[in-house]
Amino acid sequence: MGFVGIEEIFLKVRDLDRAIDFYHGKLGIPLDKRDQERAYLQCQRGHLVLQIENSTGRHQAGGPLHFAFTVTEDTFDQVVKTFATLEYRTRGPIERQAPFKGRTLFIFDPDGNETEVNTRYLYEAPLR
């Protein structure tokens, strides 16, 4: 299948400053931006979002964890076809316009995690 890579991971945290200190201060992942409820840490090919519990963020319905895979167009079509016949809860597919142009499907796994599959290609294809 044409999975390009993990685009983003949302982590719910209890203490945003403490989480930023761990991921940015200790691990060294560059801090791109932050507000009172979330911080975006930018990796070379993807980003990590630290979001405080009970925030007003867009992935509140995302269960314990939200993460997104970037896939090729053909793989996206296959994923949509596969999940159309299964009993997993989904949202979409959604056709997004600029600045987030691409197609997206949200699939909730058996544990309630929100798995996003999209064709946004925010990052170049892996070098391997």
User: What domain range includes position 89?
Assistant: 3-55+63-118
Q: Kindly state whether residue 25 falls inside one of the protein's structural domains.
A: yes
Residue 124 is assigned to a structural domain of this protein: no
- Using the predicted structure, report yes or no on whether residue 80 has a pLDDT greater than 90: yes
Kindly state whether residue 48 falls inside one of the protein's structural domains: yes
Token code pair at residue 34 = 């932050």
Q: Using one digit for the tens of pLDDT, what is the confidence trace for 20-74?
A: 999 899 888 899 999 999 999 988 778 888 888 877 766 665 667 888 888 888 8
User: 95 lies in a domain?
Assistant: yes
- Domain count of the fold of the chain: 1
Q: Tell me the CATH number at 100.
A: 3.10.180.10
Cβ 105 vs Cβ 116: under 8 Å: yes
Judge contact between 122 and 71, C-beta under 8 A. Answer: no
What is the pTM (predicted TM-score) of this model? 0.72
* Least reliable range by pLDDT among 25-29, 76-80, 101-105, 120-124: 120-124
Q: Is 101 inside any structural domain?
A: yes
- List pLDDT tens digits, range 97-109: 877 688 999 998 8
